Amino acid sequence: MRIKNKITDLFKIEHPIIQGGMVWVSGWKLAKAVSENGGLGLIGAGSMKPELLAEHIQKIKQNCQKPFGVNLPLFRGDIEELISVVITESVKIVFTSAGNPGKYTEMFKQKGIKVVHVVANLKQALKAESVYCDAIVAEGVEAGGHNGADEIPLSDLIIQLANEVKIPIIAAGGIVDKHGIEKAISLGASGVQIGTLFAASVESSAHINYKEAIVKAGENDTALFFKSIGLIRAIVNPFVEKAILSEKKNVPQEELVELLGSKREMLGIFNGNLEEGILEAGTGVGKITSVKSVADIFRDLVNDSSKNSLT
Amino acid sequence: MRIKNKITDLFKIEHPIIQGGMVWVSGWKLAKAVSENGGLGLIGAGSMKPELLAEHIQKIKQNCQKPFGVNLPLFRGDIEELISVVITESVKIVFTSAGNPGKYTEMFKQKGIKVVHVVANLKQALKAESVYCDAIVAEGVEAGGHNGADEIPLSDLIIQLANEVKIPIIAAGGIVDKHGIEKAISLGASGVQIGTLFAASVESSAHINYKEAIVKAGENDTALFFKSIGLIRAIVNPFVEKAILSEKKNVPQEELVELLGSKREMLGIFNGNLEEGILEAGTGVGKITSVKSVADIFRDLVNDSSKNSLT
DSSP secondary structure string for all residues of A128-150: HHHTT-SEEEEE-TT-SEE--TT
Angle between helices B178-187 and B154-164 (to 10 degrees): 30
Asked whether residue B177 falls in the same domain as residue B250, the answer is no
Q: Which residues of A touch B248 (CB under 8 A)?
A: 223-225, 236, 244
* B234 lies in the same domain as B150: no
Residue B74 pLDDT > 50: yes
Query: Tell me: the pLDDT tens digits for B11-29?
Result: 999 999 999 999 999 999 9
DSSP string, A21-84: --TTT-SHHHHHHHHHTTSBEEEEGGG--HHHHHHHHHHHHHH--S-EEEEEETT-TTHHHHHH
**B contacts of A225 (beta carbons < 8 Å):** 248
Q: Do A251 and B224 touch (CB under 8 A)?
A: no
Looking at every residue in chain A, the average pLDDT score rounds to 95
Q: Are residues B174 and B256 in the same domain?
A: no
| Same domain for B219 and B188 | no
**Which helix (H) or strand (E) segment is B44 a member of?**
strand B41-44
Residue of A nearest to B225 (CA): A248
Mean pLDDT of A110-139: 98
Write out the residues of chain B at the interface with chain A, using a CB-CB cutoff of 8 A.
220-225, 236, 241, 244-245, 248-251
pLDDT digits over B234-271, tens only?
999 999 999 999 999 999 999 999 999 889 999 999 99
Quick one: A153 exposed, middle or buried, by C-beta within 10 A (0-12, 13-18, 19+)? middle
User: Which chain A positions have a beta carbon within 8 Å of B224's beta carbon?
Assistant: 248
Q: What is the mean pLDDT of residues B33-45?
A: 98
Q: Are residues B58 and B43 in the same domain?
A: yes
Of A221, A244, A251, the CB nearest to B244: A244
User: Cβ contact (<8 Å) for B248 and A245?
Assistant: no
Supply the Cα-derived Rg of chain A in whole angstroms: 18
Which residue, among B297, B68, B299, has the nearest Cα to B196 in the 3D structure?
Answer: B297
B36 contacts: CB under 8 Å, gap ≥ 6 = B64, B66
Residue B308 has pLDDT above 60, yes or no: no
Strands across the sheet with B68-73, in order? B17-19, B191-194, B169-172, B135-139, B114-119, B93-97, B68-73, B41-44
Q: Do strands B145-146 and B232-235 pair parallel, antiparallel, or not at all (unpaired)?
A: antiparallel
B168 lies in the same domain as B255:
no
Give the per-residue pLDDT at A124: 97
Checking if the pLDDT of B307 tops 80, the result is no
**Residue B44 counted as domain residue:** yes
The answer on B173 and B56 residing in a single domain is yes
Give the residue-averaged pLDDT of B72-85. Answer: 95
Give B214→chain A minimum CA distance, Å: 15
Please say if the pLDDT value at position B77 is more than 80.
yes
Question: In terms of DSSP H, where are the helices of chain B?
Answer: 6-11, 28-36, 50-63, 79-88, 105-110, 122-130, 154-164, 178-187, 196-199, 208-216, 238-248, 253-260, 264-265, 294-302
Say whether both B91 and B132 belong to one domain.
yes
Residue B309 within a domain: no
**pLDDT band with cut points at 50, 70 and 90 for residue A1:** low
> What is the tens place of the pLDDT at every residue in B154-186?
999 999 999 999 999 999 999 999 999 999 999
Cβ distance of B220 and A251 shorter than 8 Å: yes
Whether the pLDDT of residue A305 is over 50: the answer is: no
Q: Report, as an integer, the average pLDDT of A106-132.
A: 97
Per the structure, the count of domains in chain B is: 2
Rounded to a whole number, what is the distance in Å from the CA of B221 to chain A's nearest CA?
6
Mean local confidence (pLDDT), A52-79: 97
Angle between helix A178-187 and helix A294-302 axes, rounded to 10 deg? 50
Q: Are residues B125 and B243 in the same domain?
A: no
Q: In this structure, is residue B274 part of a structural domain?
A: yes
User: What distance separates the 2 farthest-apart alpha carbons in chain B?
Assistant: 53
Quote the minimal CA–CA distance from A174 to chain B in Å: 14
CA nearest to B282 within chain A: A249
Going across the sheet that includes B232-235, the strands are B145-146, B232-235, B222-225
Disruptive mutation site among B249, B255, B285 for chain A (greatest number of A CBs within 10 Å) = B249
Closest chain A residue to B245, measured at CA: A241
**A307 pLDDT above the threshold of 50:** no
Are the C-beta atoms of residues B173 and B145 closer than 8 Å to each other? no
- pLDDT class for A127, splitting at 50, 70, 90? very high
Average pLDDT of chain B is: 95
Instruction: Give Cβ neighbours of residue A278 (< 8 Å, ≥ 6 apart).
Output: A232, A234, A239, A240, A264, A265, A267, A268, A269
pLDDT at A308: 42
In whole angstroms, give the CA distance from residue A175 to residue A123.
23
Put simply, the answer to whether A236 touches B248 (Cβ < 8 Å) is: yes
Residues of B in contact with A222 (CB under 8 A): 249
Whole-number percent of chain A with pLDDT over 70: 97
SS3 call for B166: coil
Query: What average pLDDT does this structure show over B290-299?
Result: 98
Nearest CA in chain B to A247: B223
pLDDT at A3: 87
pLDDT-wise least confident of A168-177, B91-100, B300-309: B300-309
* Domain membership flag for residue A250: yes
The partner residues of A19 in beta bridges, in order of sequence, read A194
Measured distance between the N- and C-terminal CA atoms of chain A, rounded to whole angstroms:
15
From A220, A248, A251, residue closest to B251, measured CB to CB: A220
Size of interface A-B (CB pairs under 8 A): 37
pLDDT score recorded for residue A262: 86
Residue B250: closest C-alpha in chain A: A220
Is B221 within 8 Å of A248 when comparing Cβ atoms?
no
User: How many angstroms separate the CA atoms of A179 and B208, rounded?
Assistant: 56
| High-pLDDT (> 90) share of chain B, % | 93
Residues of chain A found within 8 Å of residue B236, distances taken between Cβ atoms = 245, 248-249
**What are the residues facing A223 on neighbouring strands?**
A234
CA distance A253 to A286: 32
The whole-angstrom distance between B223's CA and the closest CA on chain A is: 5
Q: Note whether residue B106 is domain-resident.
A: yes
CA distance B132 to B101: 9
pLDDT for res A270: 97
Within a domain: A49: yes
Predicted local distance difference test score (pLDDT) of residue B117: 98
What is the reported pLDDT for B305? 45
Answer whether residue A112 shows pLDDT above 80. yes
Residues B165 and B194 in one domain: yes
Nearest to B300 by CA among A81, A159, B290, A100: B290
A220 and B244 within 8 Å at the Cβ level: the answer is: no
Residues 6+ apart with CB under 8 A from A150: A120, A121
The whole-model pTM stands at 0.83
Instruction: Select, from the ranges A90-99, A298-307, B298-307, the one with the highest average predicted confidence (pLDDT).
Output: A90-99
Is B249 in contact with A241 (Cβ distance < 8 A)? no
Q: Domain residues for A244?
A: 208-283
Q: Is the pLDDT confidence value at A309 over 50?
A: no
Q: Which residue of B has its CA nearest to A252?
A: B220
CATH number at residue A155: 3.20.20.70
- In this prediction, residues B226-234 reach a mean pLDDT of 94
**Taking the mean position of all CA atoms in its chain, how far away is CA B30?**
13
Residue A79 identity: I
Query: Nearest CA of chain B to the CA of A242: how many Å?
Result: 10
Strands (E) located in chain A? 17-19, 41-44, 68-73, 93-97, 114-119, 135-139, 145-146, 169-172, 191-194, 222-225, 232-235
**CA-CA distance, A163 to A169, in Å (whole number)?**
11
List of chain A residues whose C-beta atoms are within 8 Å of the C-beta of residue B225: 248
Tens-digit pLDDT profile for residues A128-157: 999 999 999 999 999 999 999 999 999 999
* Residue B93 pLDDT grade (very low, low, confident, very high; cuts 50, 70, 90): very high
Q: Are A159 and A296 members of one domain?
A: yes
Q: What is the pLDDT of residues A237-296, one digit of tens each?
A: 999 999 999 999 999 999 999 999 889 999 999 999 999 999 999 999 999 999 999 999
Q: Give a yes or no: residue B243 inside a domain.
A: yes
Same domain, A295 and A268: no
Looking at chain B, which residue has its C-alpha nearest residue A236?
B249
Asked if B251 lies within 8 A of A221 by C-beta distance, the reply is no
